[in-house]
Structure 1
Amino acid sequence: MAQTSTNTSTRIVELSSIIHEQTVKFDACLAANDLPTPSFDISCPLKLILPPEAQAARNAVLEATDELTNLMLGPLESLIPPPNSWISITALQRFKIANSFPPGTTSTFTEIASQCSIPEPDCRRLLRHAMTFYIFSEPSPGIVAHTALSKALAEIPPVGAFLGFVAEEMLPASTRIVDAMQQWPGSEESNETGFALVYATDTPMMEVVSCDPRRAQQIGHAMSFLNSRPGENVSHLVQNFSWVGTKLLVDVGGAKGTVGLAIARRDPDIRIVVHDNPEVITGTKVPDDLRERVELMGHDFFTEQLVKGADIYLIRNVLHDWSDKYAAKILGNLIPALKKGARVLVNDRVLPPPGALSPYKARQPRYDGFLSLPELISTSFFCWFRFR
């Protein structure tokens, strides 16, 4: 947790010591587990599962670095937002620049511009801006090479889908949040939002996106990427909840089935039905070895639940996207389907008490909570309710 001190120099020296100590611990843990040291080189693994002690040291370094950076910048500079990496990332994703030449090879600004059908001066400016965030490098004048970051964008499609979803849907809407709050004070309606103002629509964002197959597929893949991140990894749910006695589970709003598939692989006795809008699940294939036990079914969770008598109705990372009014509707639509002894399992986030976390740790959940407007979010949790 961040500390205040009348002697700022003492605090900055303390933070630098924490950074050194925890970095040494992190490095030693990597070596002990035969894991590579962090690098921007394309040889760096794109996905690295850290042991708990390495993860703890990493978090300590990031937390101390965040506070030290802001102290070093001072009050005025800390108020000024950092250079917007999203300008470059959006362009890289939209023009498919990372896919214009294979990782491990090099290209030129001229070749990339031609491949991506953009003017060379624009290409050069975008790439050199991206390089300031370690995305691509220029090993010699005019020559462009991949880094680990651009390689991830090129080789992991869900990453591009997530970036596209944020750039196309979330970022434009976020610029009008304050306007929406002024126009519709205290609203719980999903069509009275920054998105509605940006796109001049009275239709909720998810309905707009669902009407466009490309955008619907993009959000489905984006959710799959989010579920794969360490903090959101489905293993936390799969390994820490008892599935004993479960024969049929319905994953409400389960996107492309990432969670359902993980549960099915964990327990061969469970049959899974994954629900989401038809536009989201279209084109998704269940692996051959799970086809007899996992089914993807188009369904709108604002209508009555179709599958009756399941043992568990799972609602994971859904409710925080909706105001209390609509979260209640989602839950209420399950009631006609519930049998005696059925469980509704909610796996989502809750905001910690104010001041319980450092500003660094609290920043993302508070940001998510503000965007969602009901303050439902943060640290992952699950709870369940049994109906008698």
Structure 2
Amino acid sequence: MSFPSRISQLSALIAEHTATINNFFIENKLPTPSFEADALWSLPIPDDAEEIKAARLAVIEACAELQALVTGPKEFLHVNYTAYVSIRIILRFNLDKSFPVGESTTFDAMSQFSGLSVMNVKRVVRHAILNHRFFQEKKPGIITHSAPTAVLVGDDLARNALIVQLEEFCPAGVKAADALEKWPNSEENNQTGFSLANNSDKSMFDIFSQDPARGARFGMLFSRADEPSTMLLDNYPWNDVQTFIDVGGSHGSIAIGLANQFPHIKCIVQDLPDTVAEGVSRLPADLKDRVTFMAHDFFTPQPIMADVYYFRSIFHNWADKYCIKILQKLTPALKKGARIIIHERILPTLDTLNTIDAKRAINMDMGMLQLLNAQQREQDEWSELFCRADPRYRYLGAKKPAGAIRWIIEAEWEG
């Protein structure tokens, strides 16, 4: 008895799930995906349409595997070393903003706008069309926007995110191997690919702090939430919590959400002085008695006693020895039964490696290496980290709410 080949299985799976998605769009009178400039920026799949969301992920994963298989291993090794050159030039010279969405332009007009020669504009734009579906050239020499460039023109946060990734993160990746060779297995955040890419002996955070424009651009990257705060607020027993400290809590979005939903909780947001000052200026007047801000460096002893100490996407910015120090600096203030919540991604297990979420976590882990000599962690590494910090920490486990990106990782102080 013969069995279908893997490529046949993938082809059938893609056809089946694509039909499911397409039928959903038709039945609900929704527009189907398109690269036209007037296409929706995101697919119109509601959060509660679990079957359709799962079908979409299945299609994405199967298409990637099928493409790799039919490419063949030898050709698969080819690296497109020009991949993002055109995008960086487009963004650097604002070619995407050289004409309005819904109108057209020419290579000559883009040249006059940017100062680039017509030849360079033509080669850059056509490279971007071919490789990234940036712009469209339906008639020779007549350029219109595509869906991706329409998003860039209309969404400053999306445009900024792309700039930061290409201008700050990618050069650090190019230098990551050099950093590992120069500083083998370093845990220092100023001995990284990012440091080498910037010809500096400083860390990424120090470099950004000394360059306000780059620092603001980096901060803007994280100004849009990647998951709703309800993923935390609706999936933890808050009724018995009286005091909550968000350590490294920036402008207090989590504390503000918690105070609004649970009026009995007093929240304190700790961060560096400038961040705290900005947080105070943004705080709604009706929350000033329940949300306060405090300048605090988490590498110094914690001065406030609380029921819960919360860290959101903090530990993945630091190597183990510094995470241990952060946990140790909490202990002077800890009372018996105090909880520590760490809220961030966890690396996937072997049986879940070939998924979109897994790839995102692993890519983030590599990003932490090249930027900060930091890391994402596997689930069993958290219990070890708490134990190394102090055996009086009792690790309670980790859970990932349905639909969430981050895990809720928890420990209790036994005193």
Which TM-score applies when normalising by structure 1?
A: 0.83
Partner of 1:222: 221
- In 1, Cα distance between the equivalents of 2:112 and 2:296? 43
> 1:312 touches 1:344 (CA, 8 Å); kept in 2?
yes
* Matched positions, count: 377
- Segments of 5+ residues of structure 1 without an aligned counterpart are 1-5
Deviates more, 1:104-113 or 1:257-266: 257-266
Deviates more, 1:290-299 or 1:351-360: 290-299
After superposition, residues 64-103 of structure 1 pair within 5 angstroms as: 64-82=62-80, 84-103=82-101
> 2:339 touches 2:412 (CA, 8 Å); kept in 1?
yes
Deviates more, 1:215-224 or 1:355-364: 355-364
- In 1, Cα distance between the equivalents of 2:251 and 2:116? 33
Partner of 1:325: 321
Partner of 1:368: 364
What secondary structure sits across from 1:240 in the alignment? coil
Partner of 1:60: 58
> Relative to structure 1, is the Cα distance of residues 13 and 111 closer, same or farther in structure 2, using a 3 angstrom cutoff?
same
Q: Cα offset for 1:39? A: 1.5
Partner of 1:205: 204
- In 2, Cα distance between the equivalents of 1:303 and 1:80? 48
- In 2, Cα distance between the equivalents of 1:155 and 1:11? 41
- In 2, Cα distance between the equivalents of 1:138 and 1:214? 35
Determine if the alignment matches structure 1 residue 152 to structure 2 residue 151.
yes
- In 2, Cα distance between the equivalents of 1:86 and 1:280? 33
Partner of 2:298: 301
- In 1, Cα distance between the equivalents of 2:87 and 2:292? 35
Partner of 2:410: 384
- In 1, Cα distance between the equivalents of 2:154 and 2:125? 18
What secondary structure sits across from 1:186 in the alignment? coil
- Segments of 5+ residues of structure 2 without an aligned counterpart are 379-404
> Relative to structure 1, is the Cα distance of residues 138 and 286 closer, same or farther in structure 2, using a 3 angstrom cutoff?
farther
Q: Deviations over 1:228-252 (max 9, x none)?
A: 3xxx444422332233244543333
Q: Cα offset for 1:27? A: 1.9
What secondary structure sits across from 1:181 in the alignment? helix
Partner of 1:347: 343
Q: Cα offset for 1:259? A: 4.1
Deviates more, 1:375-384 or 1:132-141: 375-384
> 1:224 touches 1:258 (CA, 8 Å); kept in 2?
no
Deviates more, 1:186-195 or 1:114-123: 114-123
Identity within the alignment, %: 34
Partner of 1:3: none
> Relative to structure 1, is the Cα distance of residues 296 and 145 closer, same or farther in structure 2, using a 3 angstrom cutoff?
farther
Q: Cα offset for 1:385? A: 2.4
Partner of 1:44: 39
- In 2, Cα distance between the equivalents of 1:298 and 1:119? 51
- In 1, Cα distance between the equivalents of 2:30 and 2:240? 39
What secondary structure sits across from 1:350 in the alignment? coil
Q: Deviations over 1:264-304 (max 9, x none)?
A: 55445555544444566786763757663556666543344
> Relative to structure 1, is the Cα distance of residues 273 and 103 closer, same or farther in structure 2, using a 3 angstrom cutoff?
farther
> 2:169 touches 2:367 (CA, 8 Å); kept in 1?
no
Q: 2:9 aligns with which of 8, 14, 17?
A: 14
Q: Deviations over 1:35-73 (max 9, x none)?
A: 432112233222445422111001100111111101100
- In 2, Cα distance between the equivalents of 1:154 and 1:298? 38
> 2:317 touches 2:375 (CA, 8 Å); kept in 1?
no
Q: CA RMSD in A?
A: 3.1
Q: Cα offset for 1:33? A: 4.6
Deviates more, 1:13-22 or 1:336-345: 336-345
> Relative to structure 1, is the Cα distance of residues 31 and 332 closer, same or farther in structure 2, using a 3 angstrom cutoff?
farther
Letter in 1 for 2:37: I
Q: 1:129 aligns with which of 119, 127, 130?
A: 127
> Relative to structure 1, is the Cα distance of residues 365 and 142 closer, same or farther in structure 2, using a 3 angstrom cutoff?
same
What secondary structure sits across from 2:222 in the alignment? helix
Letter in 2 for 1:172: P
> Relative to structure 1, is the Cα distance of residues 171 and 250 closer, same or farther in structure 2, using a 3 angstrom cutoff?
same
- In 1, Cα distance between the equivalents of 2:250 and 2:82? 30
> Relative to structure 1, is the Cα distance of residues 260 and 121 closer, same or farther in structure 2, using a 3 angstrom cutoff?
farther
> 1:165 touches 1:219 (CA, 8 Å); kept in 2?
yes
> 1:210 touches 1:280 (CA, 8 Å); kept in 2?
no
Which TM-score applies when normalising by structure 2?
A: 0.79
Deviates more, 1:191-200 or 1:60-69: 191-200
